[in-house]
């Protein structure tokens, strides 16, 4: 006897899917909630950096180079005497902003195209899907390095490159979510009521395809944080005296054996942020219940 | 009186593209269907799944493209109309779907769902639209306060009432009810049916009532059309179709309906023995030649397997597509058996 | 026929309570369910959505998801085997060998990657230890027994080649492969057309008559039950509200809910007004001080809402209504 999961799902009391219900389900996942809290706290702290630290991020005191942790400099100073904590606080702004840029770019690129592909079908879908497949064959970091090679070092160009390469992921998710929603009867109902295609796309398709997109946005943020870290670590991202977590990491590695604190701090921050975005994505995914019929 | 809805030789095709090892195939989901509905009339459309009854509804509302034939609403062709004219026509017929759990957009409040049709047709906006929505909601037995709620806050029966209210918003002449009560629990179903009957009386609505429960369709309709594999095989006054079926398929449908308290009843066993279909329906992609029902018909004759039966009008005003009542069929052994089985079916049920 | 002797029951459910995880903890989906099924008996379990009828059947065989459900009371015995205390290995032995199952949607119950014949033969081999050759032959003969034409050829086809009615027949063949003591049929004809439904119901009745198999038929359709069941249990909002021989339930129901359900059914060619039950089925997590049907019941008195109503037995009938003795309720018309 083969018993599939769907039988179990079809039976019993109908799960009530509500937006409130989704939030409830999210709240019951301690890891996801912790991840959300971490992301929010880090964001606020980085935004408030000028209020939280008395030191500038770009000027050091040469007399104070390479100090260990102390009451004045909790995470010590770097090789030109800058306070590492301040560098990390200000650098978080760059890192987060870069991640938002890359993700935002792939959302703008992928989501409308994906929904249109699902909605229009036929050759429109076929063309857009092939373009997406083609872009996906590019290795993201390599493309970013090439673009930097052409335009010179700078984070914005690099993040746009990463955004382009991750666009197809959002395209695929948006297209799949769109196709699922299009099968729902309320789309047919909207057509019979007389809604125009544009209205169906904006008022019915988009809001109902949003949840899986949120998952993907969160996961893309994680990848983008990692990408910024890698590029800046290699010196291809932010340029001195700008700071970012990747830059702090790259700058501190040569002195790692004598002064491990900055390396550890930057590394832990990057890892935690990436982990948080991943956990957040998983959490959102698990709290999306499908409202389903018999 | 002009029919409010007039279908003439409507054909809807589904195409399976050529694939490895398989030629291109065409399925006539709806095959040259003629159907008229007068203003204020309720016509029932019954048949098994795959008979094409829902496709007829989807063709009328433009959800499925029509391959050939014509669909007129009050004398205006729906298939030829475009843009603004089409939208104006659309307003005059609305549809209620089977599944109340997926026919309402979960992300929209009941108020927005109801007023949407007014907005897109440019009829009313703002407070007057909301007021109309509130009126409709009370007309279907809900409260005006429910306008701000979302679909998940309602039970299946209530959602179906909301879907009915949505259909009423544009003041249509015709509502297509596609299995509109099939997904509801029996105890709620009766309430929704009573509501539909009341609305029809009060608003002079015409209904195209699509269903598979013959008892419900009979009660809701003035006339019944029976579909089998894309064709209407019998159409006639509702009571006449149920009491005195003219097509063996209709008769076998009637004999298959489980009846409360009929267990062990000799009459029902006898009916089943005589009228039961023998097998599953044929593959619609490869329909049999001649009469499509021939492969399952207990009264099949030689001619049924080769020639498509003509439409025959019988005394009661019903029209059937069957060889039995024609000159070819009359007097044959099959026709004799068919007539005696029909007499048994028409005989009143002995009180249990 | 039912044999009402202790120890003679094929299935014995007593005081079964199944709970679902909800936002605020656990809430019962099935409350205090007791019923027995005798050898060679067809028992019909009827109820609307949310009545708990399917949950009961799934819990018998441990098919409910463990993370979101739990069985918080009662016992279930199949013959002498305690099913609730059984390990999952023991349950695997029971399923498909001593108990056969068929479900509403045969497509999701059949594996699309294997031919129909392979799936039935697999079941035979696993539980009977037959050779490949014998198992295949048995699969073919089972298919032909359930009315699949040219069974030898159709056994080599895949589920998607079959129509809904043929798939359900294949499911029945699979369920019967090991000659089970009990067949659980959960809405077996709900997804099928009425003509095919009649064929499947006839088939189940025939198969049951020619062996000593018992059948637990779960459905929302009272008419279906009235055609095939020996006894009927009616469930409402997680509780069994009435249990009696079929004719008694339909002619003289003792619970107002049963009576309401019966009057909701529309018979062919009847001229009766539509009569439903006001309101709708409460959700599982709603608690009532007394009778769970009281707020929809025409006959409810203050006593009905004061305290929980226990199942009562009298004169071979079981019901959960305080006023059953004084009420004369309308049956099927």
Interface of A with C in 15-34 (CB under 8 A): 21, 24
Q: Is the pLDDT of residue C244 over 70?
A: yes
B194 and chain C in contact, CB less than 8 A: yes
Nearest chain B Cα distance for residue C154, angstroms: 14
- Which is nearest to B163 in space by CA: B106, B103, B206, B108? B103
Q: Which of C20, C103, C104 sits opposite A13 (nearest CB)?
A: C20
The Cα–Cα gap between B39 and B1 comes to 8
DSSP assignment letter at B292: T
Q: Which of B99, B107, B150 sits opposite A185 (nearest CB)?
A: B99
Q: Which residues contact B130 (CB under 8 A, 6 or more apart)?
A: B111, B115, B147
Mean pLDDT within B134-147: 93
Interface of A with B in 263-292 (CB under 8 A): 291-292
Q: Return the partners of chain B (3 or more C-beta pairs < 8 Å).
A: A, C
pLDDT of the residue at B84: 81
Q: Is the pLDDT of residue C120 over 60?
A: yes
Token pair belonging to B300 = 């099949």
The more confidently predicted of residues B105 and A63 is B105
Residue that is written with structure tokens 């809402």 in the block: C305
Token pair belonging to A268 = 């832990």
CA B185, B191, B192, B194 dihedral sign is positive
Nearest chain C Cα distance for residue A211, angstroms: 20
Q: How many CB pairs under 8 A join A and B?
A: 81
Low-confidence ranges of chain A (pLDDT < 50): 1-20, 290-294
- Are the Cβ atoms of A6 and C108 closer than 8 angstroms? yes
pLDDT of the residue at A6: 35
For residue C191, the chain B residue with the least C-alpha distance is B49
* Per-residue pLDDT tens over the stretch C121-172: 988 888 777 888 999 999 999 998 888 888 889 999 998 888 888 888 888 8
Nearest chain A Cα distance for residue C72, angstroms: 16
pLDDT of the residue at A63: 81
Provide the whole-model pTM: 0.84
Q: Is the pLDDT of residue B324 over 60?
A: yes
End-to-end CA, chain A: 21
Q: Is the pLDDT of residue C5 over 60?
A: no
The Cα–Cα gap between C286 and C292 comes to 9
Nearest chain C Cα distance for residue A12, angstroms: 5
- Are the Cβ atoms of A7 and C63 closer than 8 angstroms? yes
For residue C49, the chain B residue with the least C-alpha distance is B185
ipTM of the complex: 0.83
- Are the Cβ atoms of C223 and B260 closer than 8 angstroms? yes
Confidence of residue B341 (pLDDT cuts 50, 70, 90): confident
H and E: helices and strands count for chain C: 11, 12
Q: Is the pLDDT of residue C2 over 80?
A: no
Q: Residue A21: its chain B contacts at CB < 8 A?
A: 152
Mean pLDDT rounded to a whole number for chain C:
86
* Per-residue pLDDT tens over the stretch C52-74: 888 898 888 888 888 888 888 88
- Alpha-carbon Rg for chain B in angstroms: 22
pLDDT of the residue at A255: 87
The more confidently predicted of residues A201 and B85 is A201
User: Minimum mean pLDDT among B168-172, B181-185, B268-272, C139-143: which range?
Assistant: B268-272
- Are the Cβ atoms of A13 and C29 closer than 8 angstroms? yes
Strands in chain C per DSSP E: 9-22, 25-38, 42-47, 69-78, 81-82, 99-102, 182-186, 214-219, 231-236, 239-245, 312-314, 317-319
Q: Which of A2, A4, A11 sits opposite C54 (nearest CB)?
A: A11
pLDDT of the residue at A12: 36
Q: Is the pLDDT of residue B350 over 60?
A: no
- Are the Cβ atoms of A4 and C109 closer than 8 angstroms? yes
pLDDT of the residue at B348: 61
Highest mean pLDDT among B42-56, B334-348, C285-299: B42-56
Nearest chain A Cα distance for residue B210, angstroms: 16
Token pair belonging to B248 = 């063996």
Confidence of residue B9 (pLDDT cuts 50, 70, 90): very high
Mean pLDDT within B342-346: 81
Among B93, B104, B105, B133, most A C-beta atoms within 10 A, so best to mutate, is B105
Mean pLDDT within B1-17: 90
Q: Which residues of C263-284 are buried (b: 16+ CB within 10 A; e: fewer)?
A: bbbbbbbeeeebbbbeebbbeb
pLDDT of the residue at B261: 63
Residue B294 vs residues B248, B282, C2, C163: alpha-carbon distances, Å: 10, 10, 42, 18
Task: Evaluate the omega torsion of the peptide bond into residue A241 and state whether it is cis, within 30 degrees of 0.
Answer: yes
pLDDT of the residue at C326: 84
End-to-end CA, chain B: 45
For residue A6, the chain C residue with the least C-alpha distance is C108
The more confidently predicted of residues B225 and C111 is B225
* Per-residue pLDDT tens over the stretch B245-275: 999 999 988 888 887 765 545 566 677 777 7
A8 and chain C in contact, CB less than 8 A: yes
Mean pLDDT within C285-295: 86
């Amino acid at each position: 006897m083969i018993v599939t999961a769907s039988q179990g799902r079809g039976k019993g009391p109908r799960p009530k899917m509500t937006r409130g219900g989704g939030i409830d389900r999210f709240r019951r996942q301690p890891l996801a909630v912790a991840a959300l809290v971490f992301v929010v706290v880090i964001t606020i702290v980085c935004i408030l950096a000028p209020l939280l630290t008395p030191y500038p991020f770009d000027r050091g005191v040469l007399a104070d180079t390479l100090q260990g942790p102390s009451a004045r400099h909790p995470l010590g100073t770097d090789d030109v005497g800058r306070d590492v904590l301040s560098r990390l606080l200000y650098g978080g702004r760059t890192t987060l902003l870069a991640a938002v840029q890359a993700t935002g770019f792939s959302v703008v690129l992928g989501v409308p195209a994906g929904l249109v592909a699902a909605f229009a079908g036929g050759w429109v879908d076929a063309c857009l899907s092939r373009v997406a497949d083609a872009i996906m064959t590019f290795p993201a970091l390599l493309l970013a390095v090439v673009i930097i090679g052409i335009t010179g070092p700078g984070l914005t160009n690099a993040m746009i490159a990463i955004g382009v390469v991750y666009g197809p992921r959002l395209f695929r998710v948006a297209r799949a979510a769109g196709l699922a929603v299009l099968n729902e009867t309320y789309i047919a109902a909207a057509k019979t009521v007389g809604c125009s295609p544009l209205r169906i796309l904006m008022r019915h398709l988009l809001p109902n395809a949003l949840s899986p997109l949120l998952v993907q946005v969160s996961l893309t943020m994680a990848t983008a944080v990692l990408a910024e870290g890698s590029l800046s670590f290699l010196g291809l991202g932010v340029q001195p005296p700008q700071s970012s977590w990747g830059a702090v990491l790259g700058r501190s590695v040569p002195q790692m054996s004598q002064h491990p604190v900055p390396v550890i701090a930057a590394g832990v921050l990057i890892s935690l942020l990436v982990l948080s975005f991943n956990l957040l994505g998983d959490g959102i995914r698990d709290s999306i219940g499908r409202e389903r019929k018999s | 009186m002009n029919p409010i809805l007039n279908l003439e030789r409507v054909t809807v095709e589904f195409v399976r593209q050529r694939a490895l090892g398989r030629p291109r195939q065409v399925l006539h989901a709806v095959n040259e269907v003629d159907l008229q509905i007068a203003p204020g009339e309720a016509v029932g459309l019954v048949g098994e799944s795959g008979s094409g009854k829902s496709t007829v509804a989807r063709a009328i509302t433009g959800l499925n493209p029509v391959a050939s034939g014509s669909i007129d609403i009050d004398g205006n062709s729906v298939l030829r109309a475009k843009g603004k004219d089409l939208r104006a026509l659309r307003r005059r017929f609305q549809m209620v779907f089977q599944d109340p759990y997926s026919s309402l957009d979960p992300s929209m409040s009941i108020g927005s769902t109801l007023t949407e049709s007014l907005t897109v047709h440019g009829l009313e906006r703002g407070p007057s639209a909301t007021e109309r929505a509130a009126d409709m909601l009370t007309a279907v037995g809900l409260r005006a306060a429910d306008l701000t709620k979302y679909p998940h806050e309602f039970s299946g029966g209530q959602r179906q009432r909301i879907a009915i209210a949505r259909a009423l918003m544009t003041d249509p002449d015709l509502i297509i009810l596609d299995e509109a009560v099939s997904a509801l629990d029996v105890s709620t179903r009766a309430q929704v049916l009573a509501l539909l009957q009341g609305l029809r009386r009060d608003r002079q609505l015409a209904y195209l009532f699509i269903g598979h429960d013959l008892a419900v369709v009979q009660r809701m309709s003035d006339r019944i059309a029976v579909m089998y594999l894309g064709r209407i095989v019998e159409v006639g006054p509702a009571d006449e179709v149920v009491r005195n079926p003219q097509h063996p398929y209709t008769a076998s449908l009637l004999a298959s309906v489980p009846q409360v308290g009929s267990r062990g009843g000799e009459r029902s066993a006898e009916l089943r023995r005589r009228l039961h279909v023998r097998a599953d329906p044929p593959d619609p992609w490869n329909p049999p030649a001649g009469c499509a029902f021939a492969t399952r018909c207990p009264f099949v004759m030689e001619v049924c397997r080769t020639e498509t039966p003509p439409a025959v009008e019988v005394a009661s005003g019903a029209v059937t597509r069957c060889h039995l009542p024609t000159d070819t069929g009359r007097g044959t052994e099959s026709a004799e058996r068919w007539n005696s089985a029909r007499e048994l079916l028409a005989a009143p049920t002995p009180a249990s | 026929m039912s044999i009402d002797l202790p120890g003679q029951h094929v299935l014995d459910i007593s005081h079964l309570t199944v709970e679902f995880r909800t936002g605020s903890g656990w809430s019962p989906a099935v409350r205090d369910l007791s019923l027995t099924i005798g050898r060679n008996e067809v028992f019909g379990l009827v109820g609307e959505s949310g009545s708990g009828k399917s949950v009961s059947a799934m819990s018998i065989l441990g098919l409910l998801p463990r993370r979101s459900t739990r069985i918080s009371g009662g016992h279930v015995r199949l013959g002498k085997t305690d099913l609730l205390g059984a390990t999952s290995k023991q349950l695997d032995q029971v399923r498909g060998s001593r108990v056969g199952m068929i479900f509403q949607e045969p497509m999701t119950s059949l594996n699309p990657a294997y031919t129909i014949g392979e799936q039935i033969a697999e079941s035979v081999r696993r539980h009977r230890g037959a050779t490949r050759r014998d198992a295949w032959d048995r699969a073919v003969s089972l298919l032909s027994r359930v009315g699949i034409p040219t069974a030898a050829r159709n056994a080599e086809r895949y589920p998607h080649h079959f129509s809904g009615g043929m798939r359900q027949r294949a499911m029945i063949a699979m369920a019967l492969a090991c000659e089970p003591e009990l067949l659980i049929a959960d809405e077996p004809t709900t997804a099928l057309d009425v003509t095919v439904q009649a064929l499947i119901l006839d088939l189940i009745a025939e198969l049951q008559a020619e062996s000593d198999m018992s059948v637990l038929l779960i459905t929302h359709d009272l008419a279906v039950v009235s055609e095939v069941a020996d006894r009927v249990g009616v469930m409402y909002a997680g509780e069994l509200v009435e249990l009696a021989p079929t004719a008694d339930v339909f002619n003289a129901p003792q619970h107002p809910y049963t009576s309401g359900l019966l009057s909701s059914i529309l018979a062919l060619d009847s001229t009766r007004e539509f009569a439903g039950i006001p309101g709708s089925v409460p959700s599982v997590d709603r608690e009532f001080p007394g009778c769970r049907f009281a707020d929809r019941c025409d006959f409810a008195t203050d006593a009905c809402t004061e305290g929980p109503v226990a199942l009562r037995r009298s004169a071979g009938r079981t019901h959960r209504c305080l006023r059953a003795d004084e009420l004369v309720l309308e049956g099927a018309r």
